[in-house]
Amino acid sequence: MSTVGGRTRVGKYELGRTLGEGTFAKVKFARNVDTQETVAIKILDKEKVLRHKMIGQIKREISTMKLIKHPNVIHMYEVMASKTKIYIVMELVTGGELFDKIASRGKLKEDEARKYFQQLIDAVDYCHSRGVYHRDLKPENLLLDSRGVLKVSDFGLSALHQQVREDGLLHTTCGTPNYVAPEVISNKGYDGAKADLWSCGVVLFVLMAGYLPFEDTNLVSLYKKISKADFSCPAWFSTSAKKFIKKILEPNPQKRITISEVIENEWFKKGYQPLSFEPVEVDLDDVNDIFNESGEPANLVVERREERPSLMNAFELISTSQGLNLSTLFEKQMGLVKRETRFASRLPANEILSKIEEAAMPFGFKAKKNNYKMKLQGENPGRKGQLAIATEVFEVAPSLFMVELRKSNGDTLEYHKFYSNISNGLKDIIWKAPQDDKSGTSH
């Protein structure tokens, strides 16, 4: 497959900017060149997957994900593989995170919070009925589409490195601590459905309160609060909402309300309209092809790239300001903490990267360049491992570039400190629009 206009092509998809990345995967913006439809592509590293003996599990997860077609769950279209990577093509959602609404407004009114909670429960209930548990429901997994409809992302995929043991329970502590059920923390095995519902309860509390029910800078103290369900509802919650939330945030999973009881609850039922949608026929040929017995897919795709900065079209440029980044909302007590920084520059792409490398060197960062991308790796072990920053330069128009710095490993607050340290050295490369001094830098 060839590269078009400075882009990487995989099969019929043209890859664009990175929307987020984790240990096992990267998510990239992409366009189907035949239909011009925009999608998100999750790219898994085959070597890592094999090293962690995850092939069987990934096949199960992907097959299940393909079978889940629900209006409130991000849809998976197809799966492809190259010699080194697995590509999962998914629906692209452009309305940002649900929690961006709280960041801008503080909290939601009860009726609005209930509307989103109903959509969340619909999605979770549907997936549970198909034996799929999320196990990591948290702010950045709750997205909104352009019409404001809630979409749960990473259903099934978030649990790639978890296993159900012979006792039928899950045994991996995962997820963002503040959202995790007490039985998950206690490490004695847990029921995926009950644990997911607890996380939904925390989400509902945050939507209505504007802050977390369980918060502590000390992890041990935080776990104690969670295990005792040590929280109190703010005065503005209605009496029925308080009672309802207490039934969900019940530390004993045996006594906790079930999803079917949630749906029957008076507070929940207000204005509730169960979804009716047609089940669609789905084939798993592409999944079976990728994970066939020989271990080598019959139809490998090839990833090819051209040596020049990626072009960024108007839609992608607009989407960068619509909360498409998969950033965490509640990290420490900083309110909204972003994991990336963007600015515009009129300098040549090579020069931009050299200047960033130069500014980062005094702070002990080593740079590794690859085309118009650069990885900065910190030497010091940070709070969450060594800090690593991915840098990429995009061509927006002739001689105008957008530069993106994104934390790819380590602690978000350490990333912020790093950026403020090097920003002095970047002053001469950041372009400021004539009438708008602020347009040079982004969040």
At 397, list the tokens: 């128009």
**Is 283 among the residues known to form the active site?**
no
CA atoms within 13 A on the CB side of 151: 23
Q: What are the CB-based long-range contacts (under 8 Å, 24+) for 348-355? A: 349/308, 349/309, 349/393, 349/395, 349/401, 351/429, 352/393, 352/401, 352/403, 352/429, 353/391, 353/393, 355/425, 355/426, 355/428, 355/429
In degrees, rounded to 5, the angle at the alpha carbon of residue 270 between the alpha carbons of residues 265 and 274 is 85
In angstroms, rounded to a whole number, what is the distance separating the alpha carbons of residues 390 and 407?
6
In angstroms, rounded to a whole number, what is the distance separating the alpha carbons of residues 223 and 215?
9
Tokens 């010091």 sit at which residue? Answer: 380
Report the amino acid identity of residue 18. Answer: T
- In the DSSP assignment, the letter for residue 200 is H
**Beta carbons within 10 angstroms of residue 104's beta carbon:** 8
Element (H, E) at 177: none
In angstroms, rounded to a whole number, what is the distance separating the alpha carbons of residues 132 and 125?
10
Dihedral (Cα; 21, 25, 27, 32), 10-degree rounding: 160
Tokens 């520059």 sit at which residue? Answer: 345
Query: Which candidate in 136, 154, 196, 286 is catalytic?
Result: 136
In degrees, rounded to 5, the angle at the alpha carbon of residue 290 between the alpha carbons of residues 287 and 296 is 160
In angstroms, rounded to a whole number, what is the distance separating the alpha carbons of residues 360 and 354?
10
Q: Is 432 annotated as a binding residue?
A: no
Report the amino acid identity of residue 11. Answer: G
Maximum C-alpha span of the chain: 65
Tokens 């609060």 sit at which residue? Answer: 225
- Show the DSSP H helices in 93-238 as ranges: 99-105, 110-129, 182-185, 192-209, 219-227
Tokens 């105008």 sit at which residue? Answer: 400
CB 363 within 8 A of CB 421: yes
Binding site per annotation, positions: 42
The set of catalytic residues is 136
Binding site per annotation, positions for ATP: 42
